[in-house]
């Protein structure tokens, strides 16, 4: 398998550019919190010969591919099977107190999307799995079989931002009485049948439902709420964190965490800002940066990306 044929790392050069000031020194440590098939990791290890990389991933298939791909750098890598909110425990287990850089490339990996049997795509029939970690128990099939209509409506609305959440939840509960949902094509058929034609013209009717199910299966937003602060805590002074998000719910969590860390915590009205209230991070990028037209043309998966970066400027008092 030629990994470059199926995996073009998103915003690779921009990520290298943003992290270089923190990593261009002897003994630097980078955490790739979403290792995937190691496209970003390989580039960083190649360009920084003194770099040690800690790669985290919940997907055992991805870890196996990454380990093989990074064989030339075996003496400079530590690969850990964990969800990225386990970054603190992973670093503790390796005896690493601080790191110089952290990279998050959120969402579904190329490996998960391109392997039909994983069930992430609404465009190809597959088992309703959607687990990023094959050792976990919750699947999309379990959710569709066991969640109440109210809970289905909630996740479609909150995680899919789906306007027809109530209609879809009702249709699923009615359909599963006769036939359990086990394949993605069954779910697509039920959703399509109750979607107005005018709405179908605006995009695939199952897109947001599949996103919501994937987020619920993998608890992506809850994990991210814990992971970003934990990662920021691990960053050394002058170190940097770079995050690529692909949908608004993820980006909102990152934006909020960065904003809090880069703002004064002093109560309003104080005549002078005490040292303990000063920001601990500064924003490297104001707002979110989008992919260029050229990047989107080369790598369509970069189209929705929102990139944010921050640098630690001091430790909290």
Q: Measured between alpha carbons, how far is residue 68 from residues 128, 201, 273 in Å?
A: 29, 43, 51
Please check if 40 is assigned to a binding site: yes
**Cα–Cα distance for residue pair 289/68, rounded to 1 Å:** 32
Q: Are 244 and 254 in contact (CB under 8 A)?
A: no
Please check if 293 is assigned to a binding site: no
Q: Side by side, which strands form the sheet with 99-105?
A: 77-81, 52-57, 29-32, 99-105, 235-245, 306-312, 281-283
Location of structure tokens 């002058």:
238
**Cα–Cα distance for residue pair 33/112, rounded to 1 Å:** 16
Please check if 203 is assigned to a binding site: no
Please check if 84 is assigned to a binding site: yes
Please check if 105 is assigned to a binding site: yes
Q: Are 229 and 91 in contact (CB under 8 A)?
A: no
Q: Are 2 and 205 in contact (CB under 8 A)?
A: no
Binding-site annotation: residue ranges for S-adenosyl-L-methionine: 38-40, 57, 84, 105, 112
Binding-site annotation: residue ranges: 38-40, 57, 84, 105, 112
């Amino acid at each position: 398998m030629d990994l470059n044929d199926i995996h073009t790392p998103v915003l690779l050069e921009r990520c290298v550019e943003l992290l270089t000031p923190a990593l261009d020194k002897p003994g630097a440590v980078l955490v790739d919190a979403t290792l995937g098939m190691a496209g970003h990791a390989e580039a960083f290890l190649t360009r920084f010969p003194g770099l040690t990389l800690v790669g985290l991933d919940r997907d055992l298939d991805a870890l196996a591919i990454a380990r093989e791909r990074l064989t030339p750098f075996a003496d400079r890598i530590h690969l850990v099977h964990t969800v990225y909110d386990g970054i603190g425990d992973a670093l503790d287990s390796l005896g690493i107190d601080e790191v110089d850089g952290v990279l998050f490339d959120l969402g579904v990996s190329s490996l998960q999307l391109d392997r039909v049997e994983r069930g992430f795509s609404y465009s190809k029939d597959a088992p309703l799995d959607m687990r990023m970690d094959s050792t976990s128990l919750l699947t999309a099939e379990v959710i569709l079989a066991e969640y109440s209509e109210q809970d289905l409506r909630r996740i479609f609305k909150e995680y899919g931002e789906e306007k027809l959440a109530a209609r879809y939840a009702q249709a699923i509960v009615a359909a599963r009485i006769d036939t359990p949902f086990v394949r993605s094509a069954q779910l697509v058929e039920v959703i399509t049948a109750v979607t107005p034609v005018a709405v179908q013209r605006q995009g695939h009717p199952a897109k947001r439902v599949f996103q919501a199910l994937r987020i619920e299966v993998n608890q992506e937003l809850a994990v991210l709420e814990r992971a970003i602060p934990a990662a920021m805590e691990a960053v050394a002074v002058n170190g940097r964190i770079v995050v690529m998000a692909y949908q608004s719910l993820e980006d909102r969590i990152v934006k909020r965490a960065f904003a809090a860390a880069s703002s004064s915590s002093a109560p309003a009205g104080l005549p002078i800002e005490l040292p303990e209230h000063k920001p601990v991070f500064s924003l490297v990028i104001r707002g979110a940066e989008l992919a260029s037209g050229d990047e989107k043309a080369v790598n369509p998966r970069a189209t929705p990306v929102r990139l944010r970066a921050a640098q630690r400027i001091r430790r909290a008092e």
